[in-house]
């Protein structure tokens, strides 16, 4: 059975972009936890947070992770999926976990050119470049702990896909 592949990392690291390409390369399905939540609640992240707070959003995010988990599926996770220990353990136990890693300045530049504020409401109230620095300082160890493999997300998306495929074949051979 082909175990799911979970892509983790901060906002803007390319989980959705790379995940779609990786799923095509493998002939896998593609799911996205933020998108699943949006469809199942008919609300954006910003609306859920306004209605239920971040705590409510995080609880729904865990349900979304479980709902999309299936064999032969590439799963793009929300940037904060690793905050809960339950989610980190769930992903490691159910599949292969890949961290798309890039410096905060690169992430901030990408997000500035495509903000999508309804899906990415501010986490700290600070300007985006500062926020991404704070978020990576807080979360880098969680991404590292959750991941089976760390991949350089500053390369072109097709190179990122190749590096993931390489990591996975090494993982299978060992
Ligand atoms: N490897 C890459 N090189 C250059 N630009 C990229 C790369 N990956 C993604 N991008 C661009 O960065 C932006 C964010 O990408 P994407 O939406 O895939 O990130 P994400 O990790 O899914 O973010 P979120 O956690 O908010 O869902 C998009 O404009 C996308 O085109
Ligand atoms: O980094 C985060 O905490 C988030 C990232 C997005 O994918 C969404 O899940 C939401 O905006 C929260
Ligand atoms: Mg995404």
Domain definitions of the chain by residue range: 5-164
The finding on whether 160 has its CB within 6 A of some atom of ligand 1 is yes
Atom of ligand 2 nearest to the CA of 80: 3
CA distances from 167 to 11, 20, 26, 158 (A): 22, 18, 14, 14
Phi, psi of 29 (to 5 degrees): -75, 160
Closest CA to ligand 2's atom 8: 78
The finding on whether 34 has its CB within 6 A of some atom of ligand 2 is yes
This complex has an ipTM of 0.98
41 close to 48: Cβ distance less than 8 angstroms? yes
What does the pLDDT profile of the chain (174 residues) look like in tens digits? 699 999 999 999 999 999 999 999 999 999 999 999 999 999 999 999 999 999 999 999 999 999 999 999 999 999 999 999 999 999 999 999 999 999 999 999 999 998 898 999 999 999 999 999 999 999 999 999 999 999 999 999 999 999 999 999 966 555
Q: What's the whole-model pTM score?
A: 0.97
> Is residue 139 a known part of a binding site?
yes
Show the DSSP H helices in 114-156 as ranges.
128-146
Read off the tokens for 111: 């997000």
Superfamily of domain covering 5-164: P-loop containing nucleotide triphosphate hydrolases (3.40.50.300)
């Amino acid at each position: 059975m082909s175990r799911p592949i979970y892509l983790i990392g901060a906002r803007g690291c390319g989980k959705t972009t790379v995940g779609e390409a990786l799923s095509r390369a493998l002939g896998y399905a593609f799911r996205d936890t933020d998108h699943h939540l949006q469809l199942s609640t008919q609300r954006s992240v910003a609306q859920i947070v306004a209605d239920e707070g971040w705590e409510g959003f995080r609880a729904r995010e865990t349900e979304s992770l479980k709902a999309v988990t299936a064999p032969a599926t590439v799963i793009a996770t929300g940037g904060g999926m690793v905050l809960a220990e339950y989610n980190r353990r769930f992903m490691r136990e159910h599949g292969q976990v890949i961290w798309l890693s890039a410096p905060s300045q690169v992430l901030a530049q990408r997000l500035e050119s495509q903000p999508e504020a309804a899906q990415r409401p501010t986490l700290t109230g600070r300007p985006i470049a500062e926020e991404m620095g704070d978020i990576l300082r807080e979360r880098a160890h969680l991404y590292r702990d959750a991941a089976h493999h760390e991949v350089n997300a500053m390369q072109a998306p097709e190179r990122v896909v190749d590096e993931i495929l390489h990591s996975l074949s090494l993982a299978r051979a060992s």
